[in-house]
Each structure stands twice: as C-alpha cells, then as structure tokens.
Structure 1
Amino acid sequence: MRRRLLALVCVTGSLLSACGMLPGAHERTTVTVWVMKDSASKDFLRRFTEDFERTHKDLRLDIRVQDWTGIVDKVRKALKGDSGDGPDVIEVGNTQVPLYADGGRLADLTLESMRDWDQDAWLPALAEPGRDGNAQYGIPWYAANRVVIYRKDLFEAAGLTRVPRTRAEWLADTRQLNSHGNQGIYLAGQDWYTLSGFIWDEGGDLAQRKDYKWKGTLDAPAALRGMDFYRRLQALGAGPAGADEEHPPQAGVFAGGKVAQIVAVPGLARSIVRQNPGLQGKLGFFPVPGKSAARPGTVFTGGSDLVVPGNTKDQFAATAVVGALTGAQWDTELARTMNYVPNKTALARAVAGEEGIAAMAAGAAHGRATPSTPQWADVEADNPVKEYMTRVLDGADPAAEARRASARITEQLTPDV
C-alpha cells in the first residue's frame, strides 16, 4: 500500500519530499494530530510517534492534546478553515461524528476502510456513528462501556457463589442481597444510558429513522418493556428517582459501604477505593446480564473515532496516521495502557487479563450508540428521556409518558428549515 501511495503522491505533487526528486526532499511533511486529554498517556504518544516517524521517513507528527471543554466549537471552526494549517487528524467522540460530518466537511475514508482496515470486524457502536449511508467518516479507535461493579464480600455473605448471567438471575440475586441488610443495587432514576441498553435488548430504540425523518420511539412496545425492567431493578435500591448517577456521585454512595452493586465503567472502582480504602480487593466486575445466558446485555458503548478533515493539507499522510493508530499493534497497546476496549472484538484478548476490562469487552462486542444524527446533541442538551424515567418511577402511566417523551424527541430531531 505504501508504494502505491508514494506513486500517487509523486503524480499529484503532494508530499514532494517523499518522492526524493525535488529540492528540499530531505524535509518531512508535518501531520498535525489532535487527541483529547487523558485519551492516551504521554508515554504512549511518545512511543507511537517514535515508531511512526521511524517507519514513515517522509512524515513528522505534531500531536496536540485538546480539552473536552469547548471542543465542539473548536473542531467546527477547524473544519471550516481553508488556510491548510489546521489539524489533519482529529480524535472525536464516536457519537459526535454525525455532527461533524454534516455538510460534507470530513474526508470519506470508505476505500481504505474496505481495502486495508477490515471494517467488518469493527465494534458496531464505534463504526455505525462514523458512517453516513455508504460513506465511512469516523474510524474506530477505542471503546468503553458500563459493567456491573459489585462487592464480592457482600455477595458471599448473601450466599451467592456466582454472578448473574441473566436478567431473571440479576433480579433474584439483588433481592437476596437486599434481604441481608444492604442496598442490593444503587441505580439512579435518570440513568438513561443504562435504560437504553435494556430497550435495545428488547428490540426497541430511542428513535428510528424512516423516509429520511427521525421519530422518537420510546412508546413502542419493546421500549416500554425495557423501561419496565429498569423500573423493577431500580426499585430494589434507594437510588433517587429525580436525579442521575452523578447527583450524588454514585462512587461516593457505593464507597459508603452498604451498597452491593452499581452500573458504571470499571474505572470508577479506583475512585471508590480512594474514598474507602477498606474496599481494596473486595470489588469485582461482570457484564450487564442479558435476557439469556447466551450473551451479555446490550450496553451503550462510548469511545472515540478518528476523522480526517476535508480541508487537510495532505489526506494521504493523514490516512497513514489513522491507519497506524487504529491498526492492531497500536490499538491493542493503547487498550493495555489505558484500560480500554480495542476497536475489534478479535483484539479483546489483549485485555483478557483485567477483570473489569474483560467484562467491558464482553458487552462492547454487541454494544450500541445513540441515534446517528447531528440533532441528537439537542436531545441530550434538554433530555426528555430523563424526565420520562422520573415520571414513570414516581408512578405515572408509562405508555402516556412514553408518548409525551417520544413526541418531544421527534420535535428535537427535526432540523429547522
């Protein structure tokens, strides 16, 4: 592939230094890469840069770390620029890709995805938001999702010798944990990401597109079944019906010592132990149970994709960076370093030795993402799903509240003309 790229480069006049035929051929072309704060360690970025520049003698990397705060406006501004001095590769949240692809401002990387990057093996929750029709704009990099963090000692005290693998077992075990004087599970009433997984497991969705129009679908029978399971599970704890998992922060609640389970990313365990060192060695992890033992429950899977701006000064060079970062060698190295899920199920063995990450990878294998539309950001900004959940948990009619929330979602997903 590299030989073909250089041949094209010499014909088009790009990357002249790589052709070795013109004055200044000894100079490298700089590829500017934006990565988000805490996505990769300094040591990882250093090692990747050294390896990439050693194997790509014509290229130099300029990696710039960005803050999540204000990043949407910053990326939008960069995508609109025409000076050629903006970033050539950008890390973006997987669900943000439709927002940036709107208006044709990202490079279409479909050819490389099909020919060189084995796109059929990517995690669906990373790949699907990066795709618009037949065009692939976002290339999956890494993933993370929720699992169940549990107290091994409280399970043992309740006579539970194994973790639940089905929803029915999960409910029964949680009731048994409650009977031993503990809160069987702490599940906040507005944890809509966890609810989404239950809805998807039932075959429903938050919204669906038909005839190029999006419509809220919380009132569909499958989605109502997902909400009913959430209601039954949430009732087995004392989570507030009118707040989400950050109000109060559930790590602090769990650290209090009387909660047996929470649904969270595995990394939250570090915060729990910092707040209560007595829990060191007592925490375990298992995938969110599914409807049957044949597979874990569906979970919302977040993470990052890499995109190439349409205004990059050199798409060939940018694509080479994307291919290296998301390839098996460096993708698995990133997963080991940062405790992520790699971008392909086949690479999950790289994190099999870490209990929390292995549980996360099991769920990510068939994880999902929010509806792939730029307008979904409007839904999250004024989230009717949260209000719907609180009303149902407070005793309102689920079907009526679901119709109300679905209508609001439909309105939010309808672009202003």
Structure 2
Amino acid sequence: MKGWRGLAVGATALSVALAGCGTSSDSGSGEGGDKTLTVWLMDGSAAPALTDALHQEFESAHPGVKVKYEVQKWGGIQEKLTTALTGKTPPDVIELGNTQTAKFASEDTLEDLSGDVSSLAGDQWLAGLEDSLTWDGKQYGMPFYAANRTVVYRTDLFQAAGITAAPTSRDEWVAAVEKLKAANASDPEFQSLYLPGQSWYVLLSFIWDEGGDVAKKDGDKWAGALDSAEAKAGLEFYKKLVDASGTKAPKDTDEATPQQMEVFGTGKVGMMIGLPWELAGAVKADPTLEGKLGAFPIPSKTAGKTAPVFLGGSNLAIPAGSANPDLAKDYLKLLSSKKYQDLLAEGGSVPGTSTDTTKLETTPVGKALAAAAPNGKVTPTTPTWAGVEAGQNPLKDMLTAYLTGAKSLDQATADANAALTKTLAG
C-alpha cells in the first residue's frame, strides 16, 4: 500500500485545472426515486472539477437521486472500510487501492460485477488493474486510474554528456549512466542515477522483464519464486545499475528515506526512477529544473521494448450491502465513459477504462506513462500479500543483503523466498 498512497498524493500534485463539463441526461435512465447514493473516493484521486461535473450529470439523469460525496483519507482507511463493509449501512461506491481489493473480495463484502463488465467498458480495461480485481474467477469492481514508474532525467545533462536520445534498451541505459558519470567526473557528489537499495517496485520490473515473478500460484496457494533463475537475473541487473551509477543512496532504505525527489532536486543527479508526483516534487525542491526534465519508460533487455512495470492504481467497487446497487452500477458506467476518463488523463493519471491516452501524452512523463502502462502488472492477487508490504518485506531484506555483500545472490534469494512463502501462506 505504500506505493499506492504515494500515487494518491501524486494525483493531487499533478492535477490540472479541468475544463468545466456540461450536463446531459443520456448517460442513465429511469426514475431513481428520493434516494441518496453515498460515494467514497480517496483524497487526491479526482479533481473537484471532475467530480462536480460527474455528480451533476448523474443527478440530472436520475431525478430524485442525490449523490452524497465523501472524500476519505488514506491513513486508517483499511480499518474504516472493514467497519463500513461489515456494517448495516455501507457506502454505495468505494475506492480501493489495488492491493486491498483481494482482501475484501475474499471476505464476500464486495458485489460481484462479472455480469456488468461489458457495460463498464471492460474491453478497454488496463490488464494489470483487471487482474487486481479478479478473485476466484469473478470481477469485484472496475479500474479507476493508475500510474507507473518511469525514468526521469535531466535533459540538459544528457545533452552535455553527448546523449542524443532517450535509451530504448537496458544496454543503452547503462551506456547513458556511464556517459553521465564520465562527463561529471570532476564532481565527487554527482550521481548518474539515484537508486536506493530497497526500491523493490523497481526490482519487479527487472524480474518481470527476465520472465520471472515474485510468486507463483499452485492450486489455491501461493509460493515464492524469488529463487528462480529469472528472478536472480533481475537482481543482477539491479546491482549492475547500482555499481555503474555511483549512486550514494542508502542500501538499507527505499526511495522515501530520504525522499528521492528531494535528492534529485539538489541538482547533483542525472536520473531517478519514480512516479509522476516525484517529478513534480523535484521541481518544487528546485524550481530551476522546470523545463529541464524528461522521462522515458523503464527499458527492456529487448531493444525497442519497455520493461513490465508495477501499476500502482485504484479500483472502484460496490459493497455487497449497498442499498442501491443498480444506481451504483449506473454511477460506475458514467465514470467509465471516455468523457471522464479523458479528464483523469488530463490530470496526469493513466485512465483505467480507456485505451485512449491522447490527453495524457501532452507531457514527457505522460508519454512515458502511456507507453509503459499497457505492459503493467500487479503483485499477487491474494489477501495475504498485505502482510508482505506491511511487515518485514522479504524483497527489501534480499536487496540489502545482496547489494552490501552480506549474502551471496543464491543465499539472499533463498532466504527471501522462504520468508515470502511463509507470509503468503498466511
């Protein structure tokens, strides 16, 4: 959930002034009666201009229905949702982080929407987010929006180092790292790439690009797969980047300690691998970076392709105890329409139910997001995954042990795999 909470902040940081939308009555039909539709969305997920237009249009299409819109905070939301979903009067529409969905679906507290997928633009859903909504062969919600990590870089430093184009393969990426390092050799504080030792979301891209995974499902159980040859190859490339870049980032913390966007904002870093809001944060730390930043998708080992990326994202669901499930489905149908998905894209998010990313591709980071998102993936869809992120994350421990030399590659992956398998077993 940590990565997701960062995404929620990012939606706020990147929100732009959305154009006002006219209302219409062609998105729904029928008299709703004097009813209230309670909607919980998370802080920063959608700009007020979007939700104001959405609710006005929905109410116009459903005479007698009033939308009660409540913005929730991410802090403590897991407990609040647990209480609400098991109570007698839950909300009618809720937003969930994509790593939360399996937990609530497995507890039978979400409405099965398998029969409604086609009416909710199911043919355009982001594949990665669709996976996060699938439990026991059924669909328990609709994708809302997502973001993924891209490589943010200093265009002026690239130019000065003679790098004329953004890398489109791992080999080109490593070459760019080395050129930056050589061009700035006189500055002992310079880092070609800032890469913390425990950026495990980044590691996922390298493991997936090698054809591996963190865990595999066997029947109805999950077991770790970190000791596979593919996973080991992903770790080896991670170490190759760390060694080539001269990064001074701690090997025993992740990108939040210290905040990598603040380090990037010191002007001594050529690249970082981060979320869109981190680019905005770097500019806030150093306003002179405005106009000097570019972005490209994390490259694959196969030239011309992008590596798979973790999709930090958000889903929308209908509680099983909703008093207005049909109205809630109409609400989701309207929100899944191109009109509102375009508004999400204009705000800097990857739309969850639209393959049209034209509105997103107006900035360098937007183009990079759009290019990588179709190849996005999520962590294992199991309620026990929450224990991996909330506890002593085996992937973080593995990275630190390997990068510092405390353990060999084989020992680090074997130990992490055993810990992961134990956690996934519940």
TM-score under structure 1 length normalisation: 0.91
1:59 aligns with 2:90: no
1:262 aligns with 2:272: yes
TM-score under structure 2 length normalisation: 0.89
1:322 to 324, 332, 345: 332
Per the alignment, do residues 333 and 311 of structure 1 end up closer, same or farther by CA in structure 2, a change over 3 Å counting? same
Q: Is this contact kept in 2: 1:37–1:65, CA < 8 A?
A: yes
Per-residue deviation, residues 227-282 of structure 1 (Å, max 9, x unmatched): 11111012222222111111111111111111100000122122112211221211
Partner of 2:130: 127
Residues of 2 paired with 1:59 and 1:306: CA distance? 20
Q: How does 1:64-213 map to 2 (within 5 A)?
A: 64-82=70-88, 85-113=89-117, 115-181=118-184, 182-213=190-221
Deviates more, 1:289-298 or 1:391-400: 289-298
Unaligned runs of 5+ in 2: 1-24, 185-189
Q: Is this contact kept in 2: 1:37–1:68, CA < 8 A?
A: yes
Kindly tell me the number of residue pairs found equivalent between the two proteins: 392
Partner of 2:310: 300
1:29 to 31, 35, 60: 35
Partner of 2:257: 247
Partner of 1:284: 294
Q: Is this contact kept in 2: 1:125–1:301, CA < 8 A?
A: yes
**SS in structure 1 opposite 2:144?**
strand
How much does 1:105 deviate? 1.1
Partner of 1:350: 359
Per-residue deviation, residues 288-340 of structure 1 (Å, max 9, x unmatched): 1112233211111111100000000021011111111122211121221x210
Q: Is this contact kept in 2: 1:125–1:302, CA < 8 A?
A: no
Partner of 2:231: 223
Per-residue deviation, residues 47-74 of structure 1 (Å, max 9, x unmatched): 1111111122243211100000000011
Q: Is this contact kept in 1: 2:341–2:353, CA < 8 A?
A: no
Unaligned runs of 5+ in 1: 8-16, 19-26
Partner of 2:369: 360
Instruction: Report % sequence identity.
Output: 38
Amino acid in the other structure paired with 1:380: E
Q: Is this contact kept in 1: 2:144–2:353, CA < 8 A?
A: no
Q: Is this contact kept in 2: 1:345–1:365, CA < 8 A?
A: no
Partner of 1:13: none
Q: Is this contact kept in 2: 1:94–1:138, CA < 8 A?
A: no
**SS in structure 1 opposite 2:36?**
strand
**SS in structure 2 opposite 1:165?**
coil
Residues of 1 paired with 2:339 and 2:136: CA distance? 29
Partner of 2:410: 399
Per-residue deviation, residues 75-125 of structure 1 (Å, max 9, x unmatched): 11111012xx32000011112100111121110001110x32342421122
Amino acid in the other structure paired with 2:421: T
Aligned Cα RMSD in Å?
1.7
Amino acid in the other structure paired with 1:389: L
Q: Which has the larger radius of gyration?
A: 1
